[in-house]
Amino acid sequence: MTSAHEDMACGTCLSPLNTTGMPPTYAHPAQVATDGHQPVPIPVNQLDAVRRTCDFCGDPHPTWTLLGGEVAAVLVGEAGGLVQNFGDAWAACATCQTYIDEGRNDKVVDRAVRALGLGNHMQARERIEQLHLAFLNARVPGRTLITTTVWPATLMTARELPKVRDRLARFYRGDDGLPGTLTSTDSRQQIAAGLDRSRLFWIDSDFTDLAEHAAELLPAVTVSRDLMPSTDGLLVWSRPVTTRQITAVSWTADGDGWQLVNYRTVGGGLDGKPLQRLREHVGWLAPVSTDQVHERRVLPGDHPTAALLATWLLIAQRAAEFRAAEIDKAVRKMYARSNRPTPEVQTVHIRANSSTRPTSSRVAPGDSGRSQTNRFWVSGHWRNQPHGPGRALRRPVYINPFLRGPEKAPIKLSTTVRMLSSRKPERKDRE
Ligand SMILES: [Zn+2]
Ligand SMILES: [Zn+2]
């Protein structure tokens, strides 16, 4: 956490690491209970999830990085250690940030005392206060959003998307910092402008399940304009997908390619003023990772945007049915007042009669008579099919997944059944 070194976290347990000396050595912070493994140092900017905690109160969902006085201290209480800072960059949770903004450092100290299990120990209180003030009194204005925090999911509805998009665009145009490649004002302005132009897509829960399933087995994909359902877009799944727990992706056309950004939701589990302020200042989405791609670039199947690629492919192979979501009257009025056309949100569903339509109650040989209480996806597979001018190009098409089990039964996500078919794949174009 020192400013003289690059921030590192352990690749095994995702805990931030303390760095000392030159050449640097790395250690797990004293308050982190590990199974005894050696730290595996990885630069934080190469990880999209880090298990950091608020340096003021220990909250597991730190939101902002603040710069302040260089402080070195270890706090150890009855409930365990809390802060071990050797640096001038502290992580603050949304609640501590709210109190700090209001000049209520006493409330921040209360939170620390509670987290350490120190009760009303006056001397401990004073020590913590001293420590906080040593940092805060030398604070540099500004703050940077922590994008490696994995929050509990916030579910969004299709009709909320215009508001979600507008907040995100405003955040990109604002003064709060972003780490990594999104530090450039130019690219932030460009993404904000792209969001203004974006078509909005909300993927329903069955299609989200299908896309996540398909993303797991995704082969390499060649990026091309005709793969995308719009030039610029913001696409939101009904829940976080893949191990990266991504909820949304934006793509923005710029000159010779597109800027792709993965997002996770922020603020899950918060309430009251800290939530209200986070929604106001950040919104619902935080950028997690970004990539610049150009026409004809080949992305590997395990690319960070695999879920987007799989969703695009499923839409391009006409497995999707679009419906226009109803837009709130308040939103329509707001857009009219600022002379913007009423936003359109497309909700995306699995198309009837498509090759990827889930077929319920399909009974496999040997299954008859056995009653099932859940439905589960039986994997389809990807196959390259010709497309484009002269059918000279190849693009993966997802074949034959289906839902097995009674029509009304809940879909069990944890069950993955690999079905080995003896049937030869049909040679039929679906273009
Ligand atoms: Zn570790
Ligand atoms: Zn805190």
Per residue of the chain (431 residues), give pLDDT as tens: 444 467 889 999 888 888 777 788 898 887 777 888 999 999 888 888 899 999 899 899 999 999 988 876 656 665 555 555 557 889 999 999 999 999 999 999 999 999 888 777 788 888 889 889 988 999 999 999 999 999 999 999 999 999 999 999 999 999 999 987 787 889 999 999 999 999 999 999 989 988 998 998 899 999 999 999 999 999 999 999 998 899 999 999 988 899 999 999 999 999 999 999 999 999 999 999 999 999 999 999 999 999 999 999 999 988 888 999 998 888 899 999 999 988 999 999 987 654 554 544 444 444 444 445 666 656 678 888 888 778 878 888 887 666 666 666 655 544 443 333 223 333 434 33
Q: Is residue 362 located within the same domain as residue 317?
A: yes
Report the C-alpha gap between 196 and 126 in whole angstroms: 49
Residues 270 and 160 in one domain: yes
Structure tokens at 163: 């508001």
Q: How many other β-carbons are positioned within 10 Å of the β-carbon of residue 422? A: 4
How far is it, in rounded angstroms, from Cα 123 to Cα 127? Answer: 6
Q: Give the C-alpha separation, 135 to 143, whole Å.
A: 14
- Rounded Cα distance, 9 and 28, in Å: 9
216: phi > 0 → left, psi -120 to 50 → alpha, else beta; which? alpha
Q: Residues near 349 by Cβ (< 8 Å), separated by ≥ 6?
A: 204, 206, 207, 320, 321, 322, 323
- Expressed in angstroms and rounded, the spacing between residue 156 Cα and the centre of ligand 2 is 26
Ligand nearest the Cα of residue 110 is: 2
Spatial strand order in the sheet of 140-145: 80-93, 62-77, 140-145
Residue 148, pLDDT score: 93
- Do 125 and 167 lie in one domain? The reply is no
pTM of the predicted model as reported, rounded to 2 decimal places? 0.83
Beta carbons within 8 Å of 211's beta carbon, 6+ residues apart? 203, 237, 241, 307, 310, 311, 314
Same domain, 282 and 401: yes
In angstroms, the CA 325 to CA 349 distance is 12
Boundaries of domain holding 117: 8-145
Please identify which residue in the block is written with the tokens 């950040």.
282
Distance (Å) from CA 174 to ligand 2 centroid: 23
Name the closest ligand to CA 105.
2
Q: Is the peptide bond before 219 cis (omega within 30 degrees of 0)?
A: no
Cα 358 to Cα 92, 125, 306, 349: the distances in Å are 45, 60, 21, 11
Q: Is 1 domain-assigned? A: no
Nearest listed ligand to the Cα of residue 94: 2
Which of 97, 127, 145 finishes a domain? 145
| Ligand 2 ion: nearby residues, β-carbon < 5 Å | 54, 56-57, 59, 93, 96
Please indicate, yes or no, whether residues 141 and 157 belong to a single structural domain of this protein: no
Which candidate, 346, 102, 351, places its Cα nearest to that of 210?
351
Domain termination site, one of 128, 145, 162: 145
Rounded to the nearest angstrom, the distance between the alpha carbon of 54 and the centre of ligand 2 is 5
User: Does residue 227 form part of some domain?
Assistant: yes
